Amino acid sequence: MGKFHPNVDKYVVSRVRALESILLDRGILPADAVDRIVQMYESDTGPQYGARAVAKAWTNPTFKRRLLTNSTAALSELGLEYDQLIVVENTDAVHNLVVCTLCSCYPWPVLGFPPNWYKSPAYRARAVSEPRALLKELGLEVPSEREIRVWDSSSEMRYMVLPQKPDGVDGFTEERLLPLITRDSLIGVATPLPAGGA
């Protein structure tokens, strides 16, 4: 579980190749599809839209309100058309954590490819029933009095966390804030990097 390394079983590899040549022959798979799509996603820049939205929210209260209440409009300002995102805000009273227990729903357009651990049985099983213990294992201590809201994504709506702004970044521009905003902080399993720590 949480396997990092792919199956290199010759049987799996040969099944994939066989299926690929059949789909090519039938015209279902365009001739350049595998190379182009792989290339496109391998150059995937990760959580660039998510991080940009958070940096802007930290510096612009009007944008922040829009991001939390109408993410479609807010993302559209950043050049992204995406109507399925709900943004949930971390505060001193509430920490948010995102999971998909039934499969691996994830806001791809804002966060890029989901990491393997997000898709692992261990994360999917434990995030809903013991989030505080799980986060502690992952290095994030959430005070016992702070509510942890777990968002179990159910296929249609996808979730992103708006983390709390780190200390010592007042006056930072969006560009200076961006490198502090990690993918994991947007899922809720980490806090942003400290100022000067990026």
Residue numbers annotated as active site: 100, 103-105
Q: Residue 174 Cβ, how far from another protein at the closest point, in Å?
A: 26
167 is a site residue for another protein (CB under 8 A): no
Region of 55-63, 128-136, 168-176 interacting with another protein (CB under 8 A): 128-136
Region of 4-12, 55-63, 161-169, 173-181 interacting with another protein (CB under 8 A): 4-12
Distance CA 154, CA 64 (A): 25
- Among 76, 132, 140, 164, which residue interacts with another protein (rule: CB under 8 A)? 132
Q: Residue 169 Cβ, how far from another protein at the closest point, in Å?
A: 25
Residues 13-32 that bind another protein (CB under 8 A): 13-24, 26, 28-32
Of 73 and 157, which CB lies nearer to another protein in the complex structure? 157
| Contact mark string toward another protein, 37..76, x via CB under 8 A | xx-xxx-x--------------------------------
34 is a site residue for another protein (CB under 8 A): yes
Distance CA 190, CA 187 (A): 8
Please list, in sequence order, all residues whose beta carbon lies within 8 angstroms of the beta carbon of residue 182, skipping any fewer than 6 positions away.
47, 190, 192, 193
Q: DSSP assignment, residue 171? A: T
Q: Which of 106, 107, 136 is nearest to 119 (CA)?
A: 106
Kind and range of the H or E run holding 96: strand 94-99
Distance CA 125, CA 134 (A): 11
Distance CA 59, CA 99 (A): 28
83 is a site residue for another protein (CB under 8 A): yes
